Amino acid sequence: QKEVEQNSGPLSVPEGAIASLNCTYSDRGSQSFFWYRQYSGKSPELIMFIYSNGDKEDGRFTAQLNKASQYVSLLIRDSQPSDSATYLCAVRIVAGSNYQLIWGAGTKLIIKP
Amino acid sequence: DTAVSQTPKYLVTQMGNDKSIKCEQNLGHDTMYWYKQDSKKFLKIMFSYNNKELIINETVPNRFSPKSPDKAHLNLHINSLELGDSAVYFCASSHLGGTNNEQFFGPGTRLTVL
């Protein structure tokens, strides 16, 4: 059973601080890794994806991937109240002749003003 | 402008009824998905179609039957609804190949079974 695990939280971070979200996965063959943000009552939307070891930065967001340790993280710098949401980690695996995303249960992030 | 649309947005029905949810995407994607998100926010894949062909069929009761008339549409029909079917159902679409399989989600259909 291929799994993706996240701490469900809530993770409470003061405004302006760095929020760090972590995700571990079980399938060593995983190829691409995605972070989605989901506001309450809304649909998930992609923030970043990463497929190479190391860091990938996009504005205030940095995704970090360590395939040897099988974890991927998302850092949010200068956290804003508008960043308060559930963050879903998804991992792409090969399923037969196709690809499939395996989803974590999400981490609820609360940014306190 | 809407990329992935679903109808209806809300669905309230009695146990035992049959209902359908429709999904359409105008992104030119070749793959579409149905997900179920329960009250604990866990997003579970149910089905996936690539160019009208079923490619993912997770362990889902036979009461759920997807249908893809063309690659821009994926509908979900549910027979004999049960209380446990209450959830938010999301449709999504993507390209299947490449490194980035970003999935674009519809707004969701909140199903409540009474």
In the prediction, which pLDDT does B96 show?
77
Question: Cβ(B34)–Cβ(B87) under 8 Å?
Answer: no
Q: What is the mean pLDDT of chain B?
A: 91
CB contacts, 8 Å: A9 with chain B:
none
The distance of B81 to chain A (nearest Cα, Å) reads 23
Partner-chain residue, chosen from A32, A44, A98, that has the shortest CB–CB distance to B96: A98
A6 near A108, Cβ under 8 Å?
no
Residue B19 predicted with pLDDT over 70? yes
Is A83 in a helix, a strand, or coil?
helix
Q: Do A34 and B55 lie within an 8 Å CB cutoff?
A: no
Q: What is the pLDDT of residues A46-99, one digit of tens each?
A: 999 999 999 999 999 999 999 999 999 999 999 999 999 999 999 998 877 777
Peptide bond into A81 cis (omega under 30): no
The partner residue sitting opposite A92, judged by closest CB among B48, B101, B108, is B101
Q: How many CB atoms lie within 10 A of CB B32?
A: 28
pLDDT for the residue numbered B99: 63
CA angle A31, A37, A43 (to 5 degrees): 105
Alpha carbon of residue B23 to chain centroid: 7
